Amino acid sequence: MYRLFDEVSLLRASLQGETEAWGEIVARYKDAVFGLCLGFLHNPADAEDITHDAFIRAYENLRRYKLDKKFSTWIFTIASNLCRNRLRHRRYHPVIPPPDEIAGGSDPAVEYARDVRLGQVRKALDQLPYLYRTPLVLRFYNELAYNEIAEILAVPEGTVKTRIHRAKIQLKRIMEKDGLTDHVQR
C-alpha cells in the first residue's frame, strides 16, 4: 500500500503509528545501511545487528527527526555512530572471526583471488585511523556525496575532502609497505 508514497509521507504516517509505513522506510534503506555497516565492521553478523539497532533507534527518536532533512543522512549518522561504538568495543573485546564459507556456483580461483584482494584492502583500511577510514568508507563503499558525509560526520565539507585525500595517501603507503601496490589505483 505504501510503496508509492514519498519519503516524507511515509515518515509522517510512521509518526502517527502506522507500522506499515515504517516497514516501507526500513525496506527502502536497509540495504544501504547494511552496506555502510559492513564497510565499517567487515563482519556480516555485526553489520546486521547494527543495521537492526539503527532502525530501532531511528524509530524510537522519530519525533526528533526534522522532516525537511534527508532521512538517509539521519539514518546513516545513527548507523555510523553505532558502528563507531562497536569498533571501540571490539578494541577491548577482540572477536575470533568465523571460518570462511565456500561460495558455490562460480570459479573458485577467481573467488579466492577476489577475496584475497578484498581482504588485503580491508586489512589496510583497518590500519587507518577512524578519522580517515570513516569518510573513505562513506565515499567509496556507500557512494555518498561530500556534503552528505560532512553532515553525517558533523564536519565541514572541506574537512571531508581533506580527510579522504589523506586517507588515500596513507592507504597507498600501507599497501606499498605490504607489497600490494599493483592493487592501488592512482
Judgement on whether residues 79 and 129 belong to the same structural domain of the protein: no
**93 and 109 part of one domain:** no
Same domain, 2 and 75: yes
Buried b (16+ CB within 10 A) or exposed e, 65-75: beeeeebbbbb
Cell 555512530, residue located: 81
Instruction: Return the number of other C-beta atoms located less than 10 Å from residue 150's C-beta.
Output: 20
Q: Note whether 120 and 177 are same-domain residues.
A: yes
pLDDT at 40 over 60: yes
One-letter amino acid at 52 equals H
In this predicted model, what pLDDT tens digit does every residue of 131-174 receive, in sequence order?
Answer: 888 888 888 877 788 998 888 888 999 999 999 999 989 988 88
Q: Do 2 and 64 have their domain in common? A: yes
**Would you say the pTM of this structure is higher than 0.85?**
no
Q: Is the pLDDT of residue 181 over 60?
A: no
What pLDDT sits at residue 4?
Answer: 61
Residue ending a domain, choose from 98, 128, 157: 98
Which of 72, 98, 124 is at the close of a domain?
Answer: 98
Distance (Å, whole) CA 157 – CA 115: 33
Identify the CATH number of the domain in which residue 168 sits: 1.10.10.10
**How confident is the model at residue 102, as a pLDDT?**
46
My answer on whether 80 and 111 are in the same domain is no
- Number of domains present in the structure of the chain: 2
Cell numbers 548507523 correspond to: 79
| One-letter amino acid of 171 | L
Among residues of the chain, what percentage have pLDDT more than 70? Answer: 86
Q: Same domain, yes or no, for 24 and 89?
A: yes
Domain boundary among 80, 98, 116: 98
- The verdict on 27 and 92 lying in the same domain is yes
Same domain membership, residue 111 and residue 183? yes
Same domain, 62 and 151: no
pLDDT of residue 19 exceeding 70: yes
| Contact in structure between 66 and 58 (CB atoms under 8 Å) | no
Same domain, residue pair 94 and 144: no
Tell me which DSSP letter residue 69 carries: S
Q: What is the pLDDT of residue 119?
A: 77
Same domain flag for 86 and 3 = yes
What would the pLDDT profile of 56-82 be if each residue is shown by its tens digit?
A: 999 999 999 888 888 999 999 999 999
What is the domain range of residue 132? 105-186
CATH, residue 2: 1.10.1740.10
Average pLDDT over residues 28-57: 91
Please give the pLDDT value at position 94.
Answer: 58
